[in-house]
């Protein structure tokens, strides 16, 4: 039987976008784009449309009719002037986004989604829907987990989420089929270390993850602008049972 491939890429630039053409790609930006996209879909948004640039998102909102859409996203962590929502998962409530299209642009996450545009499938993953993602991809022949990073640099929260997915996949009955790259092996080791720390301390894993997030570049950025609460929200392991998927042809996440 041909081995199945399971790769982790710590940054988009670590893998050529053309190399993802036959793969199922899971894009991860724990702090906070993919966490917020998951929350938006869970809160009843009709769809999420990712944009690279602010002006493109605004133009699309005006074309669709501002009464029909919600503009969300961030630059330097903060809400963009004239936008309805920032990039905090708690912004994306049913009252704010239910039944509406969410147009979102962020510094890292939407760029990682764009990098995966040649993939066979693109899924949105985070800590909050980690197990749901694993359940949806466990039978795929090739998986590439793409970490968004922070400002072009590797960041621990994305790698931890990737490691959690690798760990669960490797514990399935068919785990002997997986061929892991070095980054996947390392990410799984990082996850196991955090799980062990939680066990030794006698604290829930989600609580330990929130502690770990405080020490990552993305976490420190959020603390610096007073958004500490987002770290707790984004560390709530398996809070959501949904797996948003990007329809590549229409560039809409549903």
pLDDT tens for each residue of 130-141: 999 999 999 999
- How high is the pLDDT of residue 173? 86
Q: Where are the domains of the chain?
A: 4-247
**Mean pLDDT of the region 191-206:** 98
Confidence of residue 177 (pLDDT cuts 50, 70, 90): confident
- Mean per-residue pLDDT for 179-208? 98
The separation between CA 63 and the C-alpha centre of its own chain, rounded to angstroms, equals 28
Mean pLDDT of the chain: 96
What is the pTM for the complete model shown? 0.97
Output the pLDDT for position 174: 76
> Residues 100-122: what's their mean pLDDT?
97
Distances (CA, A) of 45 to 26, 108, 164: 20, 22, 27
Task: Pick the range with the lowest mean pLDDT from 102-111, 144-153, 167-176, 200-209.
Answer: 167-176
Q: What pLDDT sits at residue 100?
A: 97
Interatomic CA distance for residues 148 and 14, integer angstroms:
11
Q: Evaluate if residue 216 carries a pLDDT over 70.
A: yes
> Closest Cα to residue 70, out of 54, 88, 85?
85
- The residue with tokens 């930006």 is 29
Token duo for residue 160: 């931890």
Percentage of residues of the chain with pLDDT beyond 70: 99
**Where is average pLDDT lowest: 12-21, 29-38, 172-181?**
172-181
Residue range 228-244: mean pLDDT, rounded:
98
Residues 129-153, mean pLDDT to the nearest whole number: 96
pLDDT tens digit string along 41-95? 999 999 999 999 999 999 999 999 999 999 999 999 999 999 999 999 999 999 9
The whole-number average pLDDT for the span 33-41 is: 98
Please tell me the distance from the alpha carbon of residue 74 to that of residue 154, in angstroms, as a whole number: 19
Q: What's the CATH code, domain 4-247?
A: 3.90.1560.10
DSSP 134: H
Task: State the angle between helix axes of 182-201 and 205-213 in degrees (0 to 180), rounded to the nearest 10.
Answer: 120
Q: Are 231 and 77 in contact (CB under 8 A)?
A: no
pLDDT band with cut points at 50, 70 and 90 for residue 1: low
Return all residues near 101 (Cβ < 8 A) that are at least 6 apart. Answer: 45, 46, 47, 48, 49, 64, 68, 69, 70
Q: Percent of the chain beyond pLDDT 90? A: 96
């Amino acid at each position: 039987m041909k081995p199945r491939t399971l790769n982790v890429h710590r940054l988009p630039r670590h893998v050529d976008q053309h190399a993802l053409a036959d793969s199922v790609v899971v894009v991860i930006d724990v702090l906070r784009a993919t966490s917020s996209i998951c929350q938006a879909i869970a809160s009843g948004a009709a769809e999420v449309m990712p944009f690279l640039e602010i002006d493109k998102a605004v133009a699309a909102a005006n074309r669709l009719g501002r009464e029909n859409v919600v503009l969300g996203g961030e630059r330097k962590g903060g809400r963009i002037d004239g936008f309805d929502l920032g990039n905090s998962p708690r912004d994306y409530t049913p009252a704010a986004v239910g039944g509406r299209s969410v147009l979102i642009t962020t510094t890292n996450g939407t760029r990682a989604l764009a990098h995966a545009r040649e993939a066979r499938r693109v899924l949105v993953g985070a800590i909050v829907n980690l197990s749901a993602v694993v359940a949806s991809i466990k039978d795929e022949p090739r998986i590439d987990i793409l970490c968004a990073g922070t400002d072009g640099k590797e960041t621990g929260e994305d790698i931890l989420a990737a490691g959690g997915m690798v760990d669960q996949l490797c514990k399935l009955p068919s785990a002997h089929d997986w061929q892991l790259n070095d980054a996947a092996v390392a990410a799984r080791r990082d996850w196991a270390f955090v799980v062990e720390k939680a066990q030794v301390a006698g604290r829930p894993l989600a609580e330990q993850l929130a502690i770990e997030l405080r020490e990552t570049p993305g976490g420190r950025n959020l603390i610096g602008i007073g958004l500490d609460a987002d770290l707790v929200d984004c560390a709530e392991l398996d809070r959501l049972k949904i797996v948003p998927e990007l329809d590549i042809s229409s560039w809409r996440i549903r």
